[in-house]
Structure formats: C-alpha cells, structure tokens
Structure 1
Amino acid sequence: MPKIKDHPLRYELVNELHARPFPTLTVPCHAVYVAIKEPDHAVNRDHSADRSHLLTLLDRHGSAHPPPGATHFSGQMGRHALKWESHTEFVTYSAFGSGVSARAFDPAEADIFPEDWLADAPGTRLTSVLIRVEELPEDEAEMLAKLEAWFEPESLAVSRVVDGAAVIAGDFRIDPAGHMRFAVFVEKAAGARRVGRIVQRLCEVETYRAMSMLGLRKARGLSAALNTLDPQLSRLIAGMNRTEQSPDAVLHTLLEISSELESLAVQFSFRFAATEAYEAIVNQRISVLREARVSGRQSFGEFMMRRYDPAMRTVKSVDARLRSMADRATRAAELLRTRVDVERSAQNQRLLASMDARADLQLRLQTTVEGLSVVAISYYAVNLLGYIAYPLTELVGVSKGLTLALLAPLVILGVWGMVRGIRKKFH
C-alpha cells in the first residue's frame, strides 16, 4: 500500500509551535531585555539589517550564528544565554545570567549589550528592562522593605503570581540609567521553567505595553485634526437644506472633507489596529499570571486599569470618532445625492410640461396651416377647372361666374377630404 503524502508545510507548521521556548532560569539570576523598533516612517522593516546587527553582537563573543532566514535564535553568548526574536514591528534581545549583583539593578548588568553596539542598531530603543530574580524571603516584611528601597512607592505594583510560586514587583518607571526594573521573588519549590515563564511574561507585558502606547501619541495628533474637520462637516450638513446653496458647491466642500477623512483613516488605521492587538496581548499576559494581592498593594492588573486602560480608551475613542465622521460624510453624500435627484426630477417635469405646451401649440399651428392650405389649393383648383369647364358650359349658355360658383363647393370638399385622408394616414 503506497504511503500517504504529507502536506509540504506540515512539519514547518508544527515546529512553529515550539520555535520560541521559554528560558530555563535557576534562582538567583538576572535578565537584561532590549526591544528595538524601526522609525514609524519606515515602510517595511529591514530584516537583513536586524540579522546583521545580531551577528555583530555574536561575533564579539565568538558565538554561533543562527541559520539564514531565521526569525528567532537562542544560544550561549559568553556567560549569558541569549534569546533573539524578530517580530513584525520590532526585534528583541534577552540575556539571562546566573547570580545577582550586590547592588540591586546595577547598570553594569546591561553591559552585555554594549553602548556602541546599541548606537548602531537599525532603529530606536523601544524598551530596556532589568529583571532581578532571587529567592523569596521567609519574612514578607523583609521583601517589602527591599521593594520600598528599590522602587517608587506611589506607583509600585506587587502581586503573588502563578498560584503563589513567586512575587513580582515593579514601578513602571525608567531609572537614571535608562532601564525599566522588575523584581521577582521565587519560592524554593518553583521549577526553573516556571521561573523562565514568569520572567518572559514580564518582558512581554512591558514590550506590548510600550507598543500599544504608541497609538496614544497618534490618537492625540488625530484628535486635533478631527477638531478642525468636525465643525466644517456639521455646518455643511446643517446647511444642506438651504435652497440658496448650490448643490455643486456643497458637493465640492463635502468631497474635500471626505477625502481628508479617508486620508486620515489610511494613515492611522494600521496603528490603531495594532494598538488594539497589543492591548489584548498585555491583558492576556497579565491574566495568565493569576495574580493575588500582597499586603494590600496594587497588583499589575490594578495598575494597568488605573494608568494604562485610560490611554487605550482614548485611542479607541478617537478611532471611533474618525469612523463616525466618515459615516456622517457618507450619509451627507447620500442626502445630497437625494436632493440633486429631486431637483433634477423637478427640472425634468418642467421640461416635459414645456415640451407638451410646444407640441400643443405646434398642433394648433398645424391645424391652422391645414385650413389655409385647403383654401389656397381650392382657389387654384377652382380656377384651373374653370378654364377647362368654361368652353363646355358656354355652349349651354352658362356664364363663367356661374361655372366657378358651381365648382367651388365641390373642389373645396374634395381638397378638404384629401388633406384629411393624408393626415390620418401619417397619424
């Protein structure tokens, strides 16, 4: 029996499920994470430049290269484990090292990504994160004292995650060295893979939060443009029922506003759609952490609800406003088209009435001309017949005048009948 053929993409699609494994981390350890994004004006991200930048870093440490065309790579780089991922709009670098520095969140930990190498990156730094992972103290007060010393208390978010396996904390502020900082306190029984998943989730939350916040800046710029167009569109719609306004002038103005709205929709639709997708990822990543409150402190979910969700609602509001104005412009165009059709119908009715009047006048003129034609034809016919009949009537003593008088009624009736027959034939 012949062997069944596999789909050519079967193994590739299955391997994609396992392409980005979570890191395996042993406590204590630290992580350095950087996300680089190309400028917004770049049409397509240059993947070859990203790969070249990665190879430059690997060559500094004599590390192995990823295969050609790879969009992710994991390997050893000196004393650190490196993880590189290429995404649609950005590229990320994660370095994991064992042990922690005596100074919490020492900027020297970030030297694994040299400053001169970062300066040559094909884009700009979207986010930079330092994560400190250590064993959870038995005394919770000791842990809280460290957090108070490391982070800004006003914005500090703390929560117990993954069924109590660890406590995560962060204040979502950038320190003087330019890094976002997170602390992870892990229970002794927590496995290395679980620790890796927690650290990876923190990196993803910060990355996708930063990416989604790009939509807020776009939304603020778009809101200013809509504030200019909205009154114009409202005045145009309010004045459409005024008879003194020419439909052509109204249509010209409406086309200008509609084209501007369509242009704005083209410019901002991708960023707003991306913001919605990134927001969903942030919320999903936080939900899978399964947070529990620690000593009455706000959790990551509560922090996002108070500080992050309003920004996302602003983006959604501006996007909805743009769509609403575009719909209003479309409805205005339909109303204007209805007005033009009604006016055109009235013009057609007046034209038909004028044509009927002209046809009636032409019929009357034709009737008058027919009467004159009967008289003229009869006149010449009577005289012609008189010349023919007079020699005969003279023999019987009938005068010429009497002859013409006798012929005239007969000729007139004959001509009238002939003209009437011709008209009936054509009509």
Structure 2
Amino acid sequence: MLNKLISNELSENTVLPLSSLHKIAIHPLREKLYNELHNRPFQSISSPAQLTHIAIQHQGELKQQEHDFISLLCNRFQVNSPAKSMPCFYQDFGLFSLRWERHLEYSTYTFIHQAPLTDQPFVKNAIDYVPSNWFEQMPGQVIAAVHLIIESENIDKAKTHKVEQFFDNMSLIASAPVHSQAKVWSSFKLHEDGFGRFLIYQEDLSPAQLGRLAQQLLQLDTYRLMATLGLPLAQAINSELNQLDIQLQQVTTYIALGTEKSDRELLTQVSKIAAKVEDYRSQSTYRFSATNAYYDVALQRMEELKEEEIPGYMTLQEFLMRRITPAVKTCQTASNHLEDISKRVTRASDLLRTRVEMVLQEQNQTLLKSMNHRAHVQMRLQQTVEGLSVAAISYYGMQLFETMLTSLPTLGVEYNHELVSGFAVPIVIGIVFVGTRLIHKRLMKGLK
C-alpha cells in the first residue's frame, strides 16, 4: 500500500523541485560521477586539418613534471594553466591547439593545426608549429607518435592509387569508416621522422564526426601499441617457463619413482622453482592484465569505426586483428602457463610435505615403541626395586622391633624372645608391603 502511494505521488510530480532535492542526503561522489562522462569529450575538428598525436608512458608517475611542462607552454603564450587535478586539458594557442589527457600509465598530447596544407601531406605537420625548445623537454618515454591529415576531397580509383607516395610507397591498409563517408589510409609503420601516418579523405562529415573519427583512430593506434607492450615480456618468460617446466617434471618423477634423492633436496628444488614463478608473476601480472584491458578497448574502437571495405586493401580491423590477436594470445598463454606451473608447484610441495610427514610419523611411532619398551622395563625394575625396598624396610623394621623388645624385661615383662620375633616378621612385612602399595597408588592417582 505504501509503495502504491509513493508511485502515485512520483507520477504526479516526476521532477523534484530543487528545494526538495536539497533536503535529501546527496552522495558525495554524485557530482564526480556525472562529470566523469564529460572528462574527455570528443574534439570538434574542421576540415582540412593536421594532427600530431604523441603518447608518453609515465607508469603512473611524473604528474608534477607534466603539469610543469604544460604550464610552461601556457605561460609562454600567456594563457591559463590547467589545474593539477584535471585529467584532460584543451587550449587554443593560435597556430595550433593542444589536447592533453592523462591516463593510468600514459598521457597523450594531441597537437591540432586547422588549415589547408601548404605542401603535400606529411611534409609539414602540426608538430612543426609547436616551439621546438619546449617540445624537447617533454617528460616520459614515447610509446606512440603519429601524424594524421584530414582533407576534404572526393577520391576516385585513379587518385586512390597515388596515395602510396605519401607513405614512402609502403604497403597500405585502408577502409571506408563511418559508413563510407570517409576513407582512411595508413601503413602502421614508422617513417623516417619516427612517426606513423594516417590520411583521411572525407566528404560531408561534420566537425563533431571528424573529431570522433580522429580520436578513434588515434586511440586505436595507442591502444594497439599498449596491448602489445606485454609481448616481449611474455616471450622472455615463456622461454624461462619451459626450463622450469622441465625441472618441475623431473622433481615430480623423482617423487613418483622414489629415487636416491632425499626429500630435503627435492623440497629445496621445489622451493627454488616456486620462488622463480612468483618472481615472474610479480613482474607480469599487471602487464598481462593491462594487455587484456587495452585489447578489449582496441576491439571496441574498431567496432565504432563502422568500416566498409575498399577494394584491394585490407581494412584496419582485419589487419590489426591478424597482428594484435596473436600477440595478446601469447601474453594470455604465458599468464596461463604461469598459473599452471604455480598450481603444479603447490601440488608437488604438498606431496613432498606429505612424504616428510609420513616419515616423521613412522619415526615417531618407532620412538613411541622404544619409549613404551623402556617404560615397561623401567616398570619392571621399579617393581623389583619395590620388592627389595619392602625387604629392606621390613629388615630395619624388625631391628627396631627387637630393640623395643629388649627393653621389656626392665619393665618386668616376661616373654619368649624367639617366639615373639618369629611371629612379628610376617606382620612387619605385611605392614610394609601394604604401606608401599598405598603410597604407589596415591602417586599414580596424582599423575592421572
């Protein structure tokens, strides 16, 4: 009934007045979560334009250095510097614009020059309008660097075959994204200036569509490099894991066949293998997880391109899938191999520990049997000693009794000394025996 009343009230007033909202407790992250959707908006780009995109790897560090670096450029052109907490920054500097984004382990600098070409494509690029003495101070290591040219032209078959000259006559990959409203060429290779190249010819795309297309291509180039960053590590680890695999196989064979090697030696060998495996896991776990994440994002960017095929060329998605997927699979294989060896090492350690525990149990059983035998012998000796003790105590008791008897004549008591002594012997022995048994029982009861 209460839910029905609430739903009726909400249907009558679907929008809460501002004063009512202020009376409700607001989640502290609500505004941040709203702003997160708009932290890295698509940049509107008018055609023609030239872009230079550089991705710098910083491993989550260099935050202060990056801020100082960008502030230096802003101060030079007398514009406002970005706040230290900003993950994305865009500023127009006249001849060029800068779009900067900071990610978890890398940052991107995209320089945009929106003007017609003064020469053939890739002769003069957006980076050429940036002060060189500032650019050379860029912190971090370059992981991706690419020039992107946007031109508004209609491309026919004759013009298409001349595109290779802009890529140093390298073999090209091309497609028609955005449902064939544009045509994109790239070689996905480094040229003499150390940059990759993208060439876009478009017909009727809006600045927003061009901005999205350019961002998708630049992100795709960055993500595919970040996705393959774990490949050299995977290849190095795989060769080492093969050796560890052989060593572990030998250890398990020794455990199964019971060779001359001692359990201590085998356990030491297994511990060394386990230490190496954990070292490799610590080096590679983050890198391989990041590889999978970047690969998923790269796949998403490929789908967003909505490519259509240009006759005679491989599409970007087809080319990258043929190249990136094996690299990512290699990283996944290395990661799975590590996990497999880690589990096998654990099982081998458990087997060895079980064997050691069984040996210890056998030794303990042997020791207990020996202790039981010793206790039995000790008990027999104790019983013998108790018998001797009864005899000794009885002897001394009779001596004391006879001493007492010798004093009786002085008291005027007449008796037969031999007869009284003879009858006293069994009585004294019985008393001593019963006394010792009572003491023995009391002691045993206290131990229990």
Superposition TM-score tier, normalisation by shorter sequence: 0.7 to 0.9
The answer to whether the Cα contact below 8 Å between 1:36 and 1:126 also exists between their aligned partners in 2 is yes
Aligned to 2:210: 195
Question: How many corresponding residue pairs?
Answer: 418
The AA in structure 2 aligned to 1:166 is A
TM-score with structure 1 length normalisation? 0.86
Aligned to 1:104: 121
Residue among 8, 22, 26 paired with 2:46? 26
Indicate whether 1:137 and 2:154 are aligned. Answer: yes
Aligned-pair distance for 1:365? 1.2
* Aligned-partner Cα distance in 1 for 2:193–2:439: 109
* Aligned-partner Cα distance in 1 for 2:363–2:84: 71
Aligned to 2:358: 342
The answer to whether the Cα contact below 8 Å between 1:107 and 1:177 also exists between their aligned partners in 2 is no
Aligned-pair distance for 1:415? 4.0
Single out whichever of 98-107 and 269-278 deviates more from structure 2: 98-107
Aligned to 1:10: 30
Aligned to 1:57: 73
Matched residue SS, 2:176? strand
Aligned to 1:364: 380
The answer to whether the Cα contact below 8 Å between 1:35 and 1:92 also exists between their aligned partners in 2 is yes
The answer to whether the Cα contact below 8 Å between 1:25 and 1:196 also exists between their aligned partners in 2 is yes
The answer to whether the Cα contact below 8 Å between 1:374 and 1:415 also exists between their aligned partners in 2 is yes
Indicate whether 1:118 and 2:135 are aligned. Answer: yes
The answer to whether the Cα contact below 8 Å between 2:118 and 2:124 also exists between their aligned partners in 1 is no
Aligned-pair distance for 1:260? 2.8
Matched residue SS, 1:104? coil
The AA in structure 2 aligned to 1:236 is V
Aligned-pair distance for 1:131? 1.4
Q: Deviations over 1:330-374 (max 9, x none)?
A: 223322322232222222222221221112111211222222233
| Residue ranges of structure 1 left out of the alignment (5+ in a row) | none
The AA in structure 1 aligned to 2:149 is R
The answer to whether the Cα contact below 8 Å between 2:62 and 2:140 also exists between their aligned partners in 1 is no
The AA in structure 2 aligned to 1:13 is L
Residue among 212, 223, 233 paired with 2:238? 223
* Aligned-partner Cα distance in 2 for 1:29–1:384: 129
Residue among 278, 291, 305 paired with 2:294? 278
* Aligned-partner Cα distance in 2 for 1:373–1:15: 97
Q: Deviations over 1:55-87 (max 9, x none)?
A: 333445454433453222112122333212122
The answer to whether the Cα contact below 8 Å between 2:53 and 2:147 also exists between their aligned partners in 1 is yes
The answer to whether the Cα contact below 8 Å between 2:164 and 2:170 also exists between their aligned partners in 1 is no
The AA in structure 1 aligned to 2:342 is A
Q: Deviations over 1:200-256 (max 9, x none)?
A: 101001111122222112223333443443333333333345375444444333333
The AA in structure 2 aligned to 1:329 is V
Single out whichever of 312-321 and 241-250 deviates more from structure 2: 241-250
**Closer, same or farther in 2 for the Cα pair 1:317/1:409, shift >3 Å?**
same
Spell out the pairing of 1:314-329 with structure 2 (5 A cutoff): 314-329=330-345
Aligned to 1:205: 220
The answer to whether the Cα contact below 8 Å between 1:158 and 1:294 also exists between their aligned partners in 2 is yes
The answer to whether the Cα contact below 8 Å between 2:95 and 2:129 also exists between their aligned partners in 1 is no
**Closer, same or farther in 2 for the Cα pair 1:13/1:389, shift >3 Å?**
closer
Matched residue SS, 1:211? helix
The AA in structure 1 aligned to 2:234 is A
Spell out the pairing of 1:257-336 with structure 2 (5 A cutoff): 257-336=273-352
Q: Deviations over 1:24-60 (max 9, x none)?
A: 222332222122223x6xxx41112112222333445
Identity across matched positions, percent: 33
TM-score with structure 2 length normalisation? 0.82
| Residue ranges of structure 2 left out of the alignment (5+ in a row) | 1-18
**Closer, same or farther in 2 for the Cα pair 1:81/1:353, shift >3 Å?**
same
Single out whichever of 167-176 and 416-425 deviates more from structure 2: 416-425
**Closer, same or farther in 2 for the Cα pair 1:119/1:237, shift >3 Å?**
farther
The answer to whether the Cα contact below 8 Å between 1:84 and 1:91 also exists between their aligned partners in 2 is yes
Q: Deviations over 1:288-347 (max 9, x none)?
A: 112222215211111112212111111121222222222222223322322232222222
* Aligned-partner Cα distance in 2 for 1:359–1:174: 86
